[in-house]
Amino acid sequence: MLKNLMCASTSKNKFMKNNQSNRTNEGLAFNRLSNRWRFRLISQLLDLRRLLFGCAVWFLMVSLTHSQQPSTGTTAGFAIGRNPIRIDLKATSSCASNLVRLSDLATISGDVPASLGAIDAISIGPSPALGEIQSWTRQDIQRSLELRGLPAENIQWLGASVSKLTRSVPNIRDPNSVIAASAASTASTIDTKPFTPAYLTPQTTVNAKRNVVQVILNYIQTTANESLPLQIEVELPLQVQQTLSLRNNIVGVSGGHAPWAGSQQFEILFTSNGEKRTALVDATISLPPSVWAAVGPLPKGRIVSHEDLKEIVLPSSSKTPMDDYFVDRSQLIGRELRRAISTGQPIMRRDVGAPRIVLQNETIEIQVVAGAIVAQTSGKALESGGQDDVIQVEVIGNKKKLVARVIGPGQVEAIAAANTLR
């Protein structure tokens, strides 16, 4: 009996060990199966990622290819069609704004009416001052249009070859009524107790005017929908300068009228002690002076022509007097450069002179006038000079040096007594 029980116990232990071994084998097989599926899942995810990346690259290449294809019938945003734009240049024209537009100088027509409005509104350059006349040639207008993306092959010129442009007189209100209105507004919106602002200083006034000028300039550019290079001078009531010297106190601005030039009146909305108030501000608006500069690099000795010049606004940082520059282009044409000029550099009066008709070391004819007697001799030019320039010359033979005035090609007139020639 005992022997049977021991055999049964041994059989049970073997069965339990075999059962545990089977479970271990099953767990290892399951783990291997799980790892295999996990690896396959990760591989599929990587393949999907590669597919998505390839699709993104393909889409980007297609987009770039379509964006680089040239459009037909369009130039710089202007749909011009197959036929050219016809520009009928007026012989005489006028401009009421600060900038000359193409529609001021010519009548525009073409096959694409939708683009004509945009072409009409192209700004060509600054308008002339009141009382002055500007001459706009086809070449001048063509250069401006090319800079704005309208090439010459898309233009058919009609009408005059030169347009004479004048400035229209702006409608300026009566200064007396402006002053009266300003005084009335000041009295009704600002505390007018008889006192002088306690902390008003010259620097406070400067800051207040600078803030108001910037506000008015932003208002004009927003209203006109273009960046206008304007010079603005304002007069502020003493009672509001302390408040307006702080930029955050200014809330808004209104008033003024086009054309934005001459005497204007604006209403400034500001906060003072938590209350909103207004003040009328008188302003004088003008365009900055424009001068003539070099289109490209010009060498010394070049005779200036129309193609060499362009009109630019004189930088506000310039310390040179305005009289030293050329405002009238006709005064520059035909002059000879005395030194090289770089691109965009304004040309000054000292940079040019009359074309040289006497060259240095050239054999010349010297004339000495004494009353009705004219003596002539040969000499050598020690300097080059143009018509009416004063240069030094030397008499051939005695080597006498004289100061003479250029009177013609190879001819000078000595500025000396007759007895200086022997």
pLDDT of residue 208: 92
179 and 162 both lie in a single domain: no
59 and 114 both lie in a single domain: no
- Considering only CA atoms, which of 289, 298, 287, 288 is closest in space to residue 347? 298
142 and 83 both lie in a single domain: yes
Residue 384 maps to which CATH number?
2.30.30.760
**Structural domain tally of the chain?**
5
pLDDT of residue 421: 46
282 and 320 both lie in a single domain: no
113 and 186 both lie in a single domain: no
Q: Examine the pLDDT at 340 and tell me if it is beyond 90.
A: yes
Across the range 305-315, mean pLDDT stands at: 86
349 and 361 both lie in a single domain: no
Who contacts 159 (Cβ-Cβ below 8 Å, separation ≥6)? 87, 88, 89, 90, 91, 106, 107
Query: Tell me: the pLDDT tens digits for 62-102?
Result: 666 554 444 444 444 454 555 678 888 899 988 887 788 88
Res. 198 pLDDT band, cuts 50 70 90: confident
- Sheet with strand 106-109: strands edge to edge: 106-109, 85-89, 155-159
Who contacts 352 (Cβ-Cβ below 8 Å, separation ≥6)? 304, 332, 335, 336, 337, 338
Across the range 117-144, mean pLDDT stands at: 81
The whole-chain average pLDDT of the chain stands at: 78
Q: Examine the pLDDT at 41 and tell me if it is beyond 50.
A: yes
143 and 192 both lie in a single domain: no
pLDDT of residue 39: 67
Q: Which of 167-171, 232-236, 279-283, 356-360 has the lowest mean pLDDT?
A: 167-171
Last residue in a domain, options 302, 322, 353: 353
Last residue in a domain, options 69, 96, 122: 69
Res. 211 pLDDT band, cuts 50 70 90: very high
319 and 219 both lie in a single domain: no
Last residue in a domain, options 338, 353, 368: 353
207 and 222 both lie in a single domain: yes
pLDDT of residue 294: 92
52 and 152 both lie in a single domain: no
Residue 313 maps to which CATH number?
3.90.1210.10
260 and 329 both lie in a single domain: no
- Higher pLDDT among residues 275 and 320, named by residue: 275
Q: Which of 210-219, 238-247, 368-377 has the lowest mean pLDDT?
A: 368-377
Structural domain that includes position 309 = 290-353
Question: CA 420 from chain center: how many Å?
Answer: 59
Query: Tell me: the pLDDT tens digits for 222-253?
Result: 888 877 778 889 999 888 888 899 989 999 99
What pTM was estimated for this model as a whole? 0.35
Query: Tell me: the pLDDT tens digits for 151-190?
Result: 878 788 888 989 998 887 655 444 454 444 444 444 444 5
CA angle 268, 273, 279 (to 5 degrees): 20
193 and 279 both lie in a single domain: yes
Please tell me the distance from the alpha carbon of residue 220 to that of residue 55, in angstroms, as a whole number: 50
Residue 150 maps to which CATH number?
2.60.480.10
Contact (Cβ atoms closer than 8 angstroms) between residue 400 and residue 394: yes
Across the range 272-291, mean pLDDT stands at: 87
Alpha helices for 190-330 (secondary structure H): 202-224, 238-244
pLDDT of residue 144: 80
pLDDT of residue 397: 83
Q: Examine the pLDDT at 33 and tell me if it is beyond 60.
A: no
